Amino acid sequence: MTATPGQAAVAPADARRYRLSIDTGGTFTDGFVTDGDRSAQVKVDTTPDDPTEGFAACVAAAAGALGETVPAFLARASLVHFSSTIATNIVVQRTGADVGLLVTAGHEETLYGSGEQAGLLAGFVHPGAIRGVPEATGPDGAVQNPVDPAGLEAAVRELLEHGVHLVVISFARAHLNPANELAAKSLIETSYPRHYLGAIPLVLSSQLSLDPDDHARTALAVANAYIHPVLARSMYKAEDRLRAHKFRRPLLIINTDGSSTRVAKTRAIDTYNSGPSAGVLGAAIVARALGTAHVVTLDVGGTTTDVAHVSAATAPRSVSTGFGGLSLRHPAVALSSFGLGGGSVVTAGPGGGLAVGPRSAGAVPGPACFGLGGSEPTPTDVWLELGYLEPGEFLSGRRTLDPGSGRAALAALGSELGASPEEAALAALDAIHTTLATHMRAWAAGQPGLAGASPGSQSLFSYGGGGGLLAVPAAAALGIDEVVVFPQSSVFSAFGGSLLPIAHTYHAAVTDVSDAGAVGQALAGMLDRAARDMRAEGVPAQAALTAAVTLSDFTGQETTTAGSFPDMLSDPAAASVSLPGGGGRGRLSVRITAVSDPPLRPAGPGPGAPVTGTRKVRFADGVMEVPLASGLGCPGEPPVTGPAFLAAPDTTVFVPAGWTAEFGALGYGIVRRQGGDD
């Protein structure tokens, strides 16, 4: 199937539809694509200067993996998901927008919080770009003083002279009544109309959150504004690259709440850390399919390892998001990270002991064996020296490792220890496992639900480039006897993103939570807006849609009702909720979800002929020929007894002595301790 330049390829009516999910990380951009029967995974270099270059390369690689041209592939694509570290990188590198902030007069220095809180926020909005506006809303939500037009105009003019690129409006008590924020927005847009080049992008705190804490709401709005412009440019450019090949559906952005939304309806802050979150959310879906009650997820990258506890097939949630030193009142997947990865630097201490991380060699120069100028040993150098990695097979042959450079780094370490390079590598491997165990146990101590679980109900899900070499030591440190490894391990966040539904959440302030009529009127407007958004997302009219409606006041009372979205849309009054025992102002929230439960299918063993053979691995008691098995992705393959390697695209999975691997109905590797609980 081909298309002439500028002409869209036309998919046959009976053609299967492709679902593509792309995750842009710091070093690689990963893709997972499926048509329901076949699937493929691809990995290309991330392009930091313009992440959409790597995005486009990943689309092309996915099309090629299924034997399609890009136009033909996109003509048959029903969904394209995108998660990334773009927002994270903006914060780490401090390359966000120049933000201006308007607050209620008198709060310019404290920003409704303490001096310390205001100081932390100064990293994202310069104190010189903050102005106060005369206005006031009372504790009952009534407007006491409307916005002073002259004071507002002077404040905005000063912010523009300061060089801000967009303005946040965050007034005290706007959660009770956003009228003054809306009035300020209207006045500014009248002075700077949108059709002029001088139009000012505006962010209202009450449109992002109805949190009763004025400082928390302000911090969230500033953080969102800081990353918004760069993120918007990247997301729209990625979508434009798809449209250039006549892809007519919206690009769907992965959000940290487990949903996906089109670019135009995505809030910047909702994408923060979306890639790692997608891995945990995907793990929860897999846990449900496997019937595993308690899952520890282990995602090992080049610099850090991320861990989470999935309980009852539900991803863990946190009420706050860490954001460059800030703790934002914004829900997120509860992930913990520690500084241990394939690029962590191994150093000798004064007493002859070894330390691993948290300092990392990074992507450049990277481990010494990358041959890019690195001279300090890392776990990757250790694994190569001991035979766990093959020089020509790293990243499926896309990068050839340099054993000589890795050995030189270990020789330097050995000279400090009075040991040979081989002895230094074995000592470093012990230190890597000891450091891993220390981190895992420290994390698990804060997971009471995991500590009380029976051994037979626990499993560790391993993914990420280095997960397969650290999975069993991590599980052993926690007393877990079962590890699950995946054919999609090296692209698991992209795989997880492919499983997430389209969903939208809306909120509105209500004047009286006990007034069912007023609440019902607000709900009807929100449901109508949701219907328009779902149509714009390309959700079919016959799709199964659910709705959850929550009404709460600001004293902690809350009630929720859930049901069919079409039923609520046809009769909003029947779905209306109220708090008869409550009274006064509150907030109404609605979440609409397009129920999406794509079946999990065997991924297949990956491209190319089955991988077999052996690797020479150095253990403490000598060198051994360790077999390489190709059962991953192949349901029902014969079990494998360790020590053995399981072949997997772009990663290495090691089954040590005393453990066995079986291959279940989905082709996942189920690695169990011999003699452990089944």
Residue 607 clears pLDDT 70, i.e. is over it: no
* Range scoring the smallest mean pLDDT among 2-16, 119-133, 539-553, 643-657: 2-16
Residue ranges covered by each domain of the chain: 18-91+233-271, 96-228, 503-594, 614-673
Residue 248 — very low, low, confident or very high, per pLDDT cuts 50/70/90? confident
Whole-number pLDDT of residue 5: 31
Mean pLDDT for 530-543 is 82
7 — pLDDT class (breaks 50, 70, 90): very low
pLDDT value at residue 603: 62
Say whether the peptide bond before residue 638 is cis (omega within 30 degrees of 0). Answer: no
User: What is the overall mean pLDDT for the chain?
Assistant: 89
> Is the distance from CB of 359 to CB of 344 less than 8 angstroms?
yes
Q: At 352, is the secondary structure helix, strand, or coil?
A: coil
Residue 303 pLDDT exceeds 90 = no
pLDDT at residue 436, rounded to an integer? 97
Q: What pLDDT is attached to residue 190?
A: 93
Higher pLDDT, 395 or 410: 410
3-state secondary structure of 82: strand
Q: In what order do the strands lie in the sheet with 99-104?
A: 130-133, 99-104, 166-170, 202-204
Q: For the domain 503-594, what is the CATH superfamily, name and number?
A: DNA polymerase, Y-family, little finger domain (3.30.1490.100)
- DSSP state string for 104-159: ETT-TTTTTS-HHHHHHHTTTS-GGGEEEE--EE-TTS-EEE---HHHHHHHHHHH
What distance in Å separates the CA atoms of residue 37 and residue 24, rounded to the nearest whole number? 25
Kindly give, in sequence order, each residue whose CB lies less than 8 Å from that of residue 341, ignoring residues fewer than 6 positions away.
300, 301, 302, 303, 304, 305, 357, 360, 379, 466
At 59 the pLDDT is: 97
Q: Is 96-228 in the same CATH topology as 18-91+233-271?
A: no
pLDDT tier for residue 410 given thresholds of 50, 70 and 90: very high
3-state SS class at 303: coil
Q: 18-91+233-271: which CATH number, 3.40.710.10, 3.30.420.40, 3.60.20.10, 3.40.640.10?
A: 3.30.420.40
Give dist(CA 30, CA 497) in Å, integer. 11
Strands 166-170 and 99-104: parallel
> Omega of the bond prior to 643 within 30 degrees of 0, cis?
yes
Lowest mean pLDDT across 119-133, 510-524, 621-635: 510-524
Q: Determine the pLDDT at residue 633.
A: 82
What's the order of all strands across the beta sheet hosting 622-629?
Answer: 614-619, 622-629, 644-648, 651-655
Return all residues near 573 (Cβ < 8 A) that are at least 6 apart.
Answer: 520, 524
Question: Which range has the worst mean pLDDT, 28-32, 587-591, 672-676?
Answer: 672-676
Residues ≥6 apart with Cβ < 8 Å to 291: none
The fold of 96-228 is Rossmann fold (3.40.50)
Beta bridge partners of 318: 332
- Token pair for residue 411? 């020789």
Residues 604/39, Cβ–Cβ less than 8 Å: yes
- From its phi and psi, is residue 533 left (phi > 0), alpha (psi between -120 and 50) or beta? alpha
pLDDT tens-place string over residues 415-464: 999 999 999 999 999 999 999 999 999 999 999 888 888 878 899 999 98
